[in-house]
Chain A
Amino acid sequence: MHWLKKILAELLGLFVDDISFALAIIAWLGVIWWGLPRLNLPALWNGVVLFAGLATILAESALRKARRSRSRSPGGRPMSPK
């Protein structure tokens, strides 16, 4: 079973290395899937809303990681490859 766990961990690692980042993406897709049809926005805006949420998640997650890295390493040196 050890090898099976290892394969599953490798597969999961393809999609997730920061759990809060991955959860935010899934949550936003859920909100879009459930909420967009109920908002009755003009057709053009649906795609813009989907993109805007994902772009915000990306920027926020990167900036949060940079802030955390700064607070752990006062010299501003890179932390770890992950």
Chain B
Amino acid sequence: MIVNWGHAWPSIVAGFLASLVEFVEALTVVLAVGTVRGWRGALAGSSSALGMLLLLVIVVGPALARIPLHNIQLAVGALLLLFGMRWLRKAVLRSAGVIPLHDEEAAYAKETAALRQGRRNEGGWDGVAIATAFKITMLEGIEVVFIVIAVGAGGVGLLIPASAGALAALIVVVILGVLIHKPLSMIPENTLKFAVGMLLTAFGTFWVGEGIGLQWPGQDWAILGLVAGYLMVAVLSVFGCRARVGTSATVANQ
């Protein structure tokens, strides 16, 4: 399969940013598990979930290649729109102060408090640690797998760039996690979600259009136009929402 890297960069960026958000959320819980219950259980739970996710990609990825491209684009585009517009709507509402921002420090504190309550099996495997790390890695990882497959399935040769973006995000988060050893609360999560929501919504619109046989002006470059269009609508929506609730936060302020 030949990858046209000149056309692949939107897939790399979408795969990287979307996966970064998910991995940061997973890291918070895995750090809490490791700190409170020990690293053996945390790493065992996370690595078994990563193994299952890898298996999922190996099984689902090639199977998708056998379905006609237009059908894939329509189905995946529709799912991507539901997923991306949900993120974008939530990011708009958070930027406008309608719903609170996600707080990694608070999530970490809540998770460590909950983990301290369970009993520990000294010496043996810690079931609570393994299950908690497995569950969060699996949940966030399934979202990453969906994003990679959805972004990559819309065109020939896009799965590799989307996977490369996700892998790069995993490496960045693991390195930061090892170095900093704290929840990555300095990462502006809502700004990322805002950007990723826009990218995924633009991709979803593009794939649905391709799936129903629309002719996009400029072909792949229309994705950039869609990103600009959704950015404008999202920013205007933030101002509109803010006017309704009477808050004065900045757009995608964290």
Interface residues, chain A, with chain B CB atoms under 8 Å away: 10-11, 14-18, 21-22, 25-26, 29, 32-33, 36-37, 43-44, 46-47, 50-51, 54-55, 57-59, 61-63, 65-67, 69-70, 76, 78-82
B-side binding surface: helix, strand, loop or mixed? helix
Is A69 a contact of B233 with CB atoms below 8 Å?
Answer: no
Chain B window 67-107, contacts with chain A (Cβ cutoff 8 Å), 1 for yes, 0 for no: 00000001000110111011011101100111110100000
Enumerate the 9 nearest inter-chain pairs by beta-carbon distance, A residue then B residue, closest first: A66-B241, A15-B82, A76-B246, A66-B244, A43-B215, A55-B233, A78-B100, A62-B237, A46-B214
Expressed in whole angstroms, the Cα–Cα distance for A7 and B245 within the complex equals 35
Choose among A33, A36, A57, A80 the residue that contacts B99 (Cβ–Cβ < 8 A): A80
CB-defined A-B contacts under 8 Å, sample of 10: A21-B89, A26-B78, A29-B208, A32-B212, A43-B214, A43-B217, A47-B209, A69-B98, A76-B246, A80-B100
B216 at the A interface (CB under 8 A): yes
B188 at the A interface (CB under 8 A): no
B11 at the A interface (CB under 8 A): no
Choose among B99, B208, B226, B229 the residue that contacts A82 (Cβ–Cβ < 8 A): B99
* Chain A residues with CB below 8 A from B240, complex form: 59, 62-63, 66
Is A29 a contact of B78 with CB atoms below 8 Å?
Answer: yes
- A55 nearest CB neighbor, chain B only: B233
- Which residues from 129 to 174 on chain B have a C-beta closer than 8 Å to any C-beta of chain A? 139, 142-143, 146
Choose among B83, B209, B237 the residue that contacts A46 (Cβ–Cβ < 8 A): B209
Nearest-CB distance from A55 to chain B (Å)? 4
Nearest-CB distance from B131 to chain A (Å)? 12
Nearest-CB distance from B193 to chain A (Å)? 12
Nearest-CB distance from B18 to chain A (Å)? 12
Indicate the member of B100, B139, B201, B237 with the most A CB atoms within 10 Å: B237
Is B139 a contact of A10 with CB atoms below 8 Å?
Answer: yes
Expressed in whole angstroms, the Cα–Cα distance for A32 and B98 within the complex equals 31
Indicate the member of A33, A43, A55 with the most B CB atoms within 10 Å: A55
Expressed in whole angstroms, the Cα–Cα distance for A33 and B100 within the complex equals 37
Given contact pairs A29-B81, A63-B241, A69-B245, A54 touches B100 in the complex (Cβ within 8 A): no
* Chain B residues with CB below 8 A from A63, complex form: 237, 240-241, 244
Expressed in whole angstroms, the Cα–Cα distance for A54 and B139 within the complex equals 28
* Chain A residues with CB below 8 A from B230, complex form: 55, 58
Given contact pairs A63-B240, A66-B98, A76 touches B247 in the complex (Cβ within 8 A): yes
Is A76 a contact of B245 with CB atoms below 8 Å?
Answer: yes
Nearest-CB distance from B23 to chain A (Å)? 16
Nearest-CB distance from B224 to chain A (Å)? 13
B205 at the A interface (CB under 8 A): yes
* Chain A residues with CB below 8 A from B216, complex form: 47
Is B212 a contact of A36 with CB atoms below 8 Å?
Answer: yes
B14 at the A interface (CB under 8 A): no
B56 at the A interface (CB under 8 A): no
B3 at the A interface (CB under 8 A): no
Expressed in whole angstroms, the Cα–Cα distance for A46 and B96 within the complex equals 32
